[in-house]
Structure formats: C-alpha cells, structure tokens
Amino acid sequence: MSTFSAPKGTYDLLPPDSAAVLAVREALAAPLRAAGYGYAETPGFEHVELFSRGVGESTDIVTKEMYTLTTKGGTRLALRPEGTASVLRATLQANLHRAGNLPVKLWYSGTYYRYERPQAGRYRHFSQIGAEAIGTEDPALDAELIILAADAYRSLGLTGVRLLLNSLGDRACRPAYRTALQDFLRGLDLDEETRARIEVNPLRVLDDKRESVRRQLAGAPAMRDHLCEACKEYHEQVRELLTDAGVAFTDDERLVRGLDYYTRTTFEFVHDGLGSQSAVGGGGRYDGLSEMLGGPPLPSVGWAIGVDRTLLALRAEGAAPAAAPATDVFAVPLGDRARRELFTVVTALRRAGVAADFGYGGRGVKSAMKSANRSGARFALVAGERDLADGVVQLKDLGSGEQTPVALPDVVEDLRRRLG
C-alpha cells in the first residue's frame, strides 16, 4: 500500500465506476452539441480578481471556499470554483463576441474546487458540465438551455428531477426590492455575519440553508411583487415556452442561487433522493457580468450540472448506467509463436475499430480465460501450436461457450461481421 492517499474531501475515479461517470458526461453534453454549442476549455486556475469581481466578494464561494495561491512573482491565483466567469473571460479575450454571430454558444466540462466540509454529494473537487449562451437577451434562449438540461436528464432515465424557477428582476426593479428586503431582514434575529451580508447583498440571506434563519424568512417580501413590467413579461415568456415544450416546473420565489451575477431567469434542478444536497444543477441569466469583468454589455444565460450529483441521483433511483464492456475480443495465446500471431491479429482488430485485449505475461490458458471473462468480452481468440499449424485460431463465444475454428486470414472480417 502507498504511503500517500488522496487529500481529504477528494476522490479517485477508477474503473468500473469511471465508466458510469463517462456515460453521464456524454449524456449531458450530447444535447448541447446537437444544439450548436461548441466546446470550450479554460485553465484550472485564474486570477483571484476574476472570481471576486464576477462571482461576488460577499459570497461564501469567495470568502470561505476558494483555494488561492501566490506565485513566486507575487501574482494571486485561485483554483476555479465555478465555470461561468472563466468561459466569459475567455470569450472576451478571444473577441468571439465581435465575430457578429451572437449568441456565442459554448459548453465545457471540467473539475472545480471549493474548500467545503466533505459530505455525500459535496466534495472539495467536483466535476461539472456547463453551457453558456453569450451576447443575446431572448427568453427563448433561457428556455432552450433549460430544455436541453431537462432532455439530458430524461435521456439518462432520471424521473425524480424537479425544476425550480424564479426571476430576480433587473437593474430597473431590483433596487426597490433590495430596499424592501433589507428593511425586513434588519428586524430579524440574525448573527453578526449574516447582518453584515444584509448590507452587502441581502438576496444572499434568502439562500441561507440554516433552519433557524429559514423559519424567520417566511414573511419576507417576494421578488415577484416587485418585478417591473418588462421583467414580468420576459419571465412569463420563459414559462410559456417551457410549458409548450412539456417541461414541468415549480415557481420558487425564494430561489436566488449562490452567486451574485444572476439577473432575471434563475433556475435549479433538484432531486429529493439526495438529502440536504438536493441540487443536481442550475443556472440563470447574468446580463451584467461582462461589464463587471471590464467587457461590453453582453446579456447572457447559462447553467452548470454536477456530474457527481447526477450519478448519485441515478443510483438513488437504481438507474445508474451500466458499464459497457471495454473489450469485445480477448486473445489467449498458448506459446511464443501464438503470442506473435495473435498480437498481430489484436493490432489489426483495433485498427478495424474492434475493442480487443491480449493475455499478457505468458499466463496459462486457465488464468488467461479468467481475464477474458472478467474483461466482459463477447469472444475469446485461442491459439496454440497445433491451431497455427492448421492455419486457424479458435473463436470462442464466451456467452454460449460455442467454439469455432476460423482461418487466420479471415479472423478480423469474421469478428467484424459477428459484432455488427
């Protein structure tokens, strides 16, 4: 056993579990690719200011959870705690928004880092699939992204995911709501840290998960009662488009999410089988973030879905994707000449698109056949000196046990035919 282990709050992803994670990633990304979203990849670390300015200096992510470091040159960097700020920064830096083809539609996949108390569904590093539509204000774009996420969940077989929906208003109507909310919150029995948050970003108090705080929020003013006519109309269009697409949702006037940059449409996907960590994904519109980062006005919308949480939800429903066999054919050589001949066949199979593996290490037939069965292969290729003298190899169906001699020059084509 190694002297070292993975750091607290992290985990290693290894077969066979890794196959299920790859299946979830593919299912979440497939609808995005089909809808014209191009793949984006950003560094694992960015300048601290990108997140403190974009995510919000008052958020728990920035004040408590962000991993930071200082380079030898004195530059302060942070391991990325979320993806939106990085993708928008990359878009601005590459001038993608100036190409005249708005919105810029991007999807991404990666690992993100937050210093949190480790528990089921909440790790200090986690995997996400994200999508951003940058540069266009259109309720159809908000609805598109929500529908794509809902379709991805459905393609995985998830039935217990619920969509929560809200509007946070915009620069025209949120100030009045902010004042009304602050007046309400100042009258509550809150700790000093939460009281300080009232003055900086009172909406963040609505996101407090402590029961002692949530009980006191029962009579808090609702954003829906303060929305301007433009925001009301925008939100109603999103709701209608979702309804027309058959995507069910629940209006949740307390939903604010945990980041400062959201405006108007805000949404969250939750699964009741995950306990306190019920969110499996979410996002919203962030029309002012580009300007916060020094860019031009670029109204945008996006979401992030937790791969880890989605897999937990699938397991809670007993619907986790089965690991597909990594190997279709397993070669079992008996003797040195067979090793050379079958290794050549395995190489040819792989080049022909057939997943094939080989019995390495000169093991006996019994041990090699055990490896063939463990690999999940459908067929085994077995050859010894006598087989090769006759110019054949033995093709064994590992399901039925049926064994058939096949001429050595015909093996690749025969297997391709059998495997379809």
| 114 marked among binding-site residues | yes
Q: Considering the chain, what is the average pLDDT of its residues?
A: 91
| 257 marked among binding-site residues | yes
The tokens for 71 are 């380079």
Last residue of a domain, one of 258, 283, 316: 316
According to the model, what pLDDT value does residue 178 have? Answer: 87
Query: 83 near 90, Cβ under 8 Å?
Result: no
Asked whether residue 9 is assigned to any structural domain, the reply reads no
Domain with 245, as residue range(s), is 17-173+227-316
Verify that 259 and 402 share a domain, yes or no: no
- Residue 389's H or E segment, with its range, is helix 385-389
| Across 297-312, average pLDDT | 95
Q: Whole-structure pTM over 0.75, yes or no? A: yes
Q: How far is CA 172 from CA 73, 178, 231, 263, 264, in A?
A: 43, 11, 9, 11, 11
Last residue of a domain, one of 269, 287, 316: 316
| Across 167-176, average pLDDT | 89
Q: Per-residue pLDDT tens for 322-380?
A: 666 678 999 999 999 999 999 999 999 999 999 999 999 877 888 888 888 888 899 99
The sign of the CA dihedral 36, 38, 39, 45 is: negative
| Across 192-212, average pLDDT | 84
Higher pLDDT residue, 203 or 332?
332
Verify that 337 and 306 share a domain, yes or no: no
Asked whether residue 214 is assigned to any structural domain, the reply reads no
Is residue 145 scored above 90 in pLDDT?
yes
Q: Say which amino acid occupies 366.
A: K
- Residue 183's H or E segment, with its range, is helix 174-185
**What CATH number has the domain bearing residue 385?**
3.40.50.800
Per-residue confidence band for 203, with pLDDT thresholds at 50, 70 and 90 = confident
The tokens for 391 are 């110019």
According to the model, what pLDDT value does residue 409 have? Answer: 94
**What CATH number has the domain bearing residue 124?**
3.30.930.10
* HSE-up of residue 253 (Cα within 13 Å, Cβ side): 13
Among 16-25, 209-218, 320-329, which is the least confidently predicted range? 320-329
According to the model, what pLDDT value does residue 24 have? Answer: 93
| 84 marked among binding-site residues | yes
The tokens for 287 are 């029309």
Verify that 291 and 347 share a domain, yes or no: no
Asked whether residue 241 is assigned to any structural domain, the reply reads yes
Q: What percent of the chain has pLDDT over 70?
A: 97
Verify that 395 and 297 share a domain, yes or no: no
Is residue 137 scored above 90 in pLDDT?
yes
Beta pairing partners, 330: 357, 380
Verify that 339 and 285 share a domain, yes or no: no
Verify that 88 and 25 share a domain, yes or no: yes
Instruction: Provide the b/e sequence for 133-152 (b: ≥16 CB within 10 Å).
Output: bbbebebebbbbbbbbbbbb
Q: How many domains in the chain? A: 2
| 401 marked among binding-site residues | no
Asked whether residue 35 is assigned to any structural domain, the reply reads yes
Beta strands in 114-242 (DSSP E): 125-134, 161-167
| 128 marked among binding-site residues | yes
Last residue of a domain, one of 272, 290, 316: 316
Q: Per-residue pLDDT tens for 24-68?
A: 999 999 999 999 999 999 999 999 999 988 777 666 777 788 999
